[in-house]
Amino acid sequence: MKILIGATGCIAIYKVVGLVSSLRKAGHELKIIMTESAQKLVSKTLFSAVGNCEVYTDEDSFDVRNGWIPHTELSKWPDILVVAPATANTIAKLANGFADNLLTMVCLAYEKDRKLLIPAMNYRMYENQVTQYNLQAMKQRGWWVLEPSVGHLACGESGRGRYPENEIVQEAIYVLASEKPLKGMNLLITAGPTWESIDPVRVLSNRSSGKMGYELAKVAVRLGANVTLVSGPTSLVAPYFVEDFVKVESADQMYREVEKRFNRSDGVIMAAAVADYSPTKKSDIKIKKGADKLNISFKKTVDILGELGRKKGEKILVGFAVESQSLEDYAIEKLKRKNLDMIVANQVDAMGSDKNTVLIIKKDGTLKRVGPDEKERIALAVLTELADFWSRSRGNS
């Protein structure tokens, strides 16, 4: 991906150096434009070295050798344009059509709709009605304005105006730059294990890390879906830009949260490893170590996927199957029994790992083997198949 970054004179520019380094490591092609004030904080040489890229300043504005017009040629080059950090001054210029430096000229000439603005400034400057008016104007003109974080600022004060963490900025770039085959789809995803309480200390659970479900949620957002993620207990950070993130513990809690959101969903991916059984009775106090044996009575939990399959109607329903043997046979049987459109099957040894190998089986009998690969790539493969269902459900060939 070709990324053009416009860096302005905010103290947060040092964080953009880290962003440039991360994007370069991810294999993206970069070019950078620095305003005059930006050069007073970070050197052109540093950006060039970290990004292994060309860095342009106002001095390049009139370098028209061989018919190369810098601001027009630079505006045509990138797949995405990012202004980070964006000062109140630069935002005001862009909102009002100023073209008095190389960056503002490039922004004015840029015709694509992939434009990302990262404001960073003192919280009073950010909250000032003039700045807010200018930001609203930028949004109306097709810019995605990534709201700054709340936190400690360089001036010693605290408030909203802090440059977001680079992980958020980089994910915003990927969301903005990705094709949108799932645009308009309200997608409900479950992830992680469930905890079935035995007493206030002990739980019955499984080895699921939740990584597959979280990767599905992250990639689905990139592909344009409106994502709700219902997650059992995990140590993972909630994926950025999901519309709704719900934490639960037990199978019963997960069922209630999924059921509440099912009717307004166009599709559901049940990637959670929901417990099949739960203790019949939870002890109110910690069970003390005593007898050589401890007998606990269990009851079946609600079959969430089965319940959804019985009432799915025109919704797209995707399940997961984790097996230790006869993977394909069991997966096909589960797909039919639970009225699924698609099932993703993998061996038990993939639980908790960063990589996976899966079988993607559709209700028409087609089967695709994917992997071994990173779970992000597995998620993309699953969602590509889902996009086919989504396209056909809307009457597209």
**DSSP 8-state symbol, 301:** P
pLDDT at position 161 is: 86
Q: For tokens 């957002």, what's the residue?
A: 221
10 is an active site residue: no
Cβ(230)–Cβ(212) under 8 Å? no
**Binding-site residues for CTP:** 276, 286, 320, 334, 338
- Pairing between strand 158-162 and 149-152? antiparallel
Active-site option among 10, 53, 107, 155: 155
pLDDT at 322: 87
SS3 101: coil
Q: 151-159: long-range contacts at Cβ-Cβ below 8 A with a sequence spacing of 24 or more?
A: 153/122, 153/123, 154/11, 154/12, 155/122, 157/122, 157/123, 158/123, 159/122, 159/123, 159/124, 159/126, 159/127
Dist. CA 360–CA 388, nearest whole Å: 13
The answer to whether the CB of 351 falls within 8 A of the CB of 320 is no
Q: Which residues are annotated as a binding site?
A: 276, 286, 320, 334, 338
pLDDT over 80 at 270, yes or no: yes
- Do the domains 2-177 and 186-281+298-393 sit in the same CATH topology, yes or no? yes
- pLDDT for 308-330, tens place per residue? 999 999 999 999 998 878 888 99
For 5-39, the pLDDT digits (tens) are 999 999 999 999 999 999 999 999 999 999 999 99
31 in Cβ contact with 110 (< 8 Å) = no
Which residues have a Cβ under 8 Å from the Cβ of 19 and sit 6 or more positions away? 5, 84, 166, 169, 170
Query: Is residue 396's pLDDT more than 80?
Result: no
- Domain positions in the chain: 2-177, 186-281+298-393
Going by C-alpha positions, the residue among 102, 106, 132 that lies closest to residue 35 is 102
The per-residue pLDDT for range 128-147, each reduced to its tens digit, is: 999 999 999 999 999 999 99
CB atoms within 10 A of CB 367: 12
For 159, other C-beta atoms within 10 Å of its C-beta total 17
Kindly tell me if the per-residue pLDDT of 291 is higher than 80: no
Mean pLDDT of the chain: 93
Cα 135 to Cα 94, 101, 108, 144, 187, distances in angstroms: 10, 20, 16, 10, 30
pLDDT at 383 (0 to 100): 98
CA–CA dist 310, 327 (Å, integer): 24
Residue 121 near residue 150 (C-beta atoms within 8 A): no
Domain 186-281+298-393 has CATH 3.40.50.10300: yes
Q: Tell me the CATH number of domain 2-177, given options 3.10.310.70, 3.30.1330.20, 3.40.50.1950, 3.40.190.10.
A: 3.40.50.1950
- pLDDT, tens digit (0-9, with 9 covering 90-100), for 190-242: 999 999 999 899 998 988 899 999 999 999 999 999 999 999 999 999 999 99
Which element (helix H / strand E) includes 231?
strand 226-231
Q: Percent of the chain scored above 70 by pLDDT?
A: 98
**CA atoms of 15 and 164, how far apart (whole Å):** 9
Model confidence pLDDT, tens digit, residues 112-124: 999 999 999 999 9
